[in-house]
Chains A and B, each alone.
Chain A
Amino acid sequence: MSEFFWVSRHLGWGIFSLLVFTALWLLLTDLVWRLKDIRVRRLLAMMAAGWAVGAVLVVAGFCLLKG
């Protein structure tokens, strides 16, 4: 699991993917908030759930590839 964070002189692909995904997800949340007529609470709940699913998929993908 340590390879998740760091591997031979560069960031682990797991944490790197998670950081990239999180940043893009934040920007996407902002875009959805501006485009859709939706309550902030509902949007945040939706996007948080989406982020959790995405994060689990990133970790699961990392584990499967390294498995």
Chain B
Amino acid sequence: MLAVQIFVLLVLVLALGAWIACFPYPSPLVRHWLPPRKRWPERQIRGWLKTGRFDRGFLAYFYRDPERVAPSGTGVLAPADGLVTSADVRDGIRYLVIALSFWDMHVQSSPLAGRVVSVTAHGEDFMDGEGRDFAFLREKSCPVQKRMVIQTHEGTLAVRLITSVAARRIETWVEEGDQVERGQRIGRILLGSTVVLELPAATVLRVQVGERVRAGETVVAEASRAS
């Protein structure tokens, strides 16, 4: 009987030890019951970014790629999961900026069906070319990005995947000349944080700043034939 009691107490001591070792972050024992934002707090993720050592469970969650079902119609779909932070018009282009958090799905999708006109990459010298006029670029200490221009029946639009020079990893899964379906996966930002959808200024927006959108599912604008 004493052995059973010692075993039970030992299990509890180990559980408490894990709790103390992980504090203030959640111990592995309670993680399962927590929503993602509390399971992996931002401070902890930022710590992993510095050391380069990530929790496996977090990485599996971060790299998830769920199936999304595009709604019927011709509405322009959100290219990424995240929060709409601005939708300013500049030189005839509406820049719909979607900020991704660490807990958002990081696979991007095509807003409409069409043909990929170009896929361009901008490296560390990007600032020299386009400057820091855009707020979504000023926010990054050293932005790098890939820009995909897609010709659709409703006009030309572009999707920019932006990350910082520290992360620097953007995958694009389409090439110039490829045909893409509405909602098709087009790329992924690895540890990036911003996706910008460039639309014709005349486009009627269906979302507001502060709204959360889901890639390939949320209609963010009604297609306009002006390009």
Contacts and interface: CB of A to CB of B under 8 A. Distances in A.
Interface string B107-129: 00000000000000000000000
Given A11-B2, A35-B33, A35-B38, 20 more contacts: A9-B1, A10-B1, A10-B2, A16-B9, A19-B9, A19-B12, A20-B12, A23-B12, A23-B15, A23-B16, A24-B12, A26-B16, A26-B19, A27-B16, A27-B19, A27-B30, A30-B19, A30-B27, A34-B30, A34-B38
Nearest to B15: A27
The 9 closest A-B pairs by CB, nearest first: A10-B2, A23-B12, A10-B1, A11-B5, A31-B30, A34-B38, A16-B5, A10-B5, A34-B34
Nearest to A19: B9
B155 interface: no
Nearest to A28: B30
B197 to A, nearest CB: 33
A18 to B, nearest CB: 11
A27 B34 contact: no
Contacts of B15: 23, 27
Contacts of B16: 23, 26-27
Judged by DSSP, the binding face of A is: helix
Of the listed residues B2, B5, B9, the one surrounded by the most CB atoms of chain A closer than 10 A to its CB is: B5
Interface of B: 1-2, 5, 8-9, 12-13, 15-16, 19, 26-27, 29-30, 33-34, 38
Contacts of A20: 8-9, 12
Contacts of A35: 33-34, 38
A31 B33 contact: yes
Contacts of B8: 16, 20
A19 B5 CA distance: 11
A23 B13 CA distance: 8
Of the listed residues A11, A26, A31, A34, the one surrounded by the most CB atoms of chain B closer than 10 A to its CB is: A34
9 contacts: A9-B1, A10-B2, A16-B5, A19-B12, A23-B15, A27-B15, A30-B26, A34-B26, A35-B34
A10 B9 CA distance: 13
Contacts of A9: 1-2
A25 to B, nearest CB: 11
